[in-house]
Chain A
């Protein structure tokens, strides 16, 4: 028995091989690139002709760049609108679904969830046409049903960003709803019955019992959608045409700005500096995500 235990504490070839694969891959694909990105963000380079260390000048220049500041502001608006509105609408839908049982529920979930599995790039393209000014279907519905002049949607700097956010909220409604709905099903029925005896109305129940008990799910969703709001790219690129981020930089976002600085203007140092800003913004959010992810698994 003793000999057996001793043999176990030896490192097997499986441990060595898998460890080496993991170590090499992650050092190569994320740790080293991050270090390299920091170095790039302190240099001036077009990747071809030369490198010059210019220390913090890239950072100073991006914070003087009005387009970058606009992008930063837009990402924050995106987060502040999408996260609460998305969670709130999904809470209501989840509460509706909670009342339905069996096969019909499966059908509803199936339909509500379908945009989640569909490519964001494809969905953006569809919505771009739905939003088409004047001749598009949304504009037509607004003018025919409500008899008012429809907005120009994506063509108007005032409405463009909010149009993209609405599309984004629509797209992930199913995912948030299913997560919240699963949380609702875990709440013991006895709590509701007890409060019913006390004469508490269903609306009060929803705000006083359901929402507080769903806190782990809501935190989790707030974390992942904040991350998504900071990382948003494809939607903006696909929906705002040529050049992306328009009209008048009203839909400019950080990842797009980074992409443009690096690959349009070949200012890779500036792009790397923007990447560092995104990294810092994401850092706390990812920590929150991992924490709530683990909590979710402790059930």
Chain B
């Protein structure tokens, strides 16, 4: 009898602790997504209800006014196009250069390889912020300020992409490459027919990360873009940061919703790639 009671007590205790655990995690998860929920709700409320001493989360006057205003006054469509174009070109370029360099540094031997790899390593030490001013000077001397090439060129290769792909390519058995060589395949053929298919999933990781970083890049466009037509999405958002918060609250949240929600939808479908990719490298742009 006594034994049974004790057993039950243990069970109850365990049940309580599991419940507490889940309550904590639910509170935490809600804290993490709350700002996004608030953003979406705010984008449909009149300004007066967004920032208000008479606090309520929901409003009685839902409105589409902010979206109408944003879409007519701000070049959101154009900025979307610019951001997508720049991020796509950069991503494709980074994928090919990183995987080719990864193959080069992990499987091929030639004189000067270590020197070359040292240069790549060195450029990891030189983040873009540090060379912002000379890079701006160069780009302006080449008359590329406020152009797509000007936005794209500084990001076309990623030292960390090279680093990562080198690590991944190490894992491919050298016998596979030797076998292809026996059949008379050139290095180009080996790269396209053997290496690329085998590192596909790593490429997905590098690609997703590069796309996100380029999509979010702020400082470089801030310095080089000076016309409405060339603005990328972060620059549109920056316009609101400079205005009086309360006055543009609704339209800024409408714009933010338009920028953030598509990314979150893609993330919801490909969560695995995002989470594993980012935690593998621990990197952000």
Does B61 touch A at the CB level, under 8 Å? no
- As a 0/1 sequence over residues 259 to 299 of chain A, the CB contacts with chain B under 8 angstroms (1 = contact) are 10011000010011001101100110011001001000100
Does B204 touch A at the CB level, under 8 Å? no
- As a 0/1 sequence over residues 211 to 254 of chain B, the CB contacts with chain A under 8 angstroms (1 = contact) are 01001101100110000000001100110111001100100110
For chain B, the count of residues having a C-beta within 8 Å of the partner chain is: 99
B282 contacts A122, C-beta separation under 8 Å: no
B167 contacts A121, C-beta separation under 8 Å: no
Q: How far is B283's CA from A93's CA once the two chains are assembled, in angstroms?
A: 20
Number of contacts between A and B (CB, 8 Å)? 282
Q: How far is the CB of B195 from chain A (nearest CB, A)?
A: 11
A140 contacts B120, C-beta separation under 8 Å: no
A37 contacts B131, C-beta separation under 8 Å: yes
Does A111 touch B at the CB level, under 8 Å? yes
B101 contacts A18, C-beta separation under 8 Å: yes
Residues of chain B lying within 8 A (CB to CB) of residue A228? 284
**Interface residue ranges of B119-150 to A (CB < 8 Å):** 119-127, 129-138, 140
Chain B interface mostly? helix
B245 contacts A128, C-beta separation under 8 Å: yes
Does A12 touch B at the CB level, under 8 Å? yes
Q: How far is B241's CA from A144's CA once the two chains are assembled, in angstroms?
A: 28
Q: How far is B121's CA from A293's CA once the two chains are assembled, in angstroms?
A: 13
A137 contacts B186, C-beta separation under 8 Å: no
B32 contacts A19, C-beta separation under 8 Å: no
For chain A, the count of residues having a C-beta within 8 Å of the partner chain is: 105
Which listed residue, B30, B38, B136, B237, touches A122 by the CB 8 Å rule?
B237
Q: How far is the CB of A47 from chain B (nearest CB, A)?
A: 6
Q: How far is the CB of B142 from chain A (nearest CB, A)?
A: 11
Q: How far is B130's CA from A278's CA once the two chains are assembled, in angstroms?
A: 7
- As a 0/1 sequence over residues 123 to 167 of chain A, the CB contacts with chain B under 8 angstroms (1 = contact) are 111111110101111001100100000000000000000000000
Does B25 touch A at the CB level, under 8 Å? yes
Q: How far is the CB of B81 from chain A (nearest CB, A)?
A: 17
B218 contacts A233, C-beta separation under 8 Å: yes
Does B1 touch A at the CB level, under 8 Å? no
Does A204 touch B at the CB level, under 8 Å? no
Q: How far is the CB of A276 from chain B (nearest CB, A)?
A: 8
Does B28 touch A at the CB level, under 8 Å? yes
Q: How far is B130's CA from A113's CA once the two chains are assembled, in angstroms?
A: 29
- As a 0/1 sequence over residues 26 to 38 of chain A, the CB contacts with chain B under 8 angstroms (1 = contact) are 1101111110110
Which listed residue, A8, A136, A144, A231, touches B181 by the CB 8 Å rule?
A8
Which listed residue, B120, B216, B234, B263, touches A26 by the CB 8 Å rule?
B120
B216 closest partner in A (C-beta): A119
Q: A122-B260, A129-B51, A179-B279 are in contact. Are A18 and B104 (CB under 8 A)?
A: yes
B219 contacts A96, C-beta separation under 8 Å: no
A132 contacts B21, C-beta separation under 8 Å: no
B155 closest partner in A (C-beta): A29
A31 contacts B122, C-beta separation under 8 Å: yes
Q: With a 10 A CB-CB cut-off, give which of A4, A234, A242, A258 has the most chain B CB atoms.
A: A234
Does B271 touch A at the CB level, under 8 Å? yes
Residues of chain A lying within 8 A (CB to CB) of residue B283? 224
A108 contacts B29, C-beta separation under 8 Å: yes
Q: A29-B135, A33-B135, A33-B138 are in contact. Are A128 and B35 (CB under 8 A)?
A: no
Does A84 touch B at the CB level, under 8 Å? no
Does B80 touch A at the CB level, under 8 Å? no
Q: How far is B261's CA from A117's CA once the two chains are assembled, in angstroms?
A: 11
Q: How far is B137's CA from A28's CA once the two chains are assembled, in angstroms?
A: 13
Closest 10 CB pairs of A and B: A14-B187, A33-B131, A135-B51, A140-B55, A111-B29, A30-B123, A33-B134, A36-B134, A121-B234, A12-B187
Q: Which residues of A contact B (CB under 8 A)?
A: 4, 8-9, 11-15, 18-19, 21-23, 25-27, 29-34, 36-37, 40, 47, 93, 96-97, 99-100, 104, 106-130, 132, 134-137, 140-141, 144, 170, 172-175, 178-179, 182, 220-221, 224, 227-228, 231, 233-234, 237-239, 241-242, 255, 258-259, 262-263, 268, 271-272, 275-276, 278-279, 282-283, 286-287, 290, 293, 297
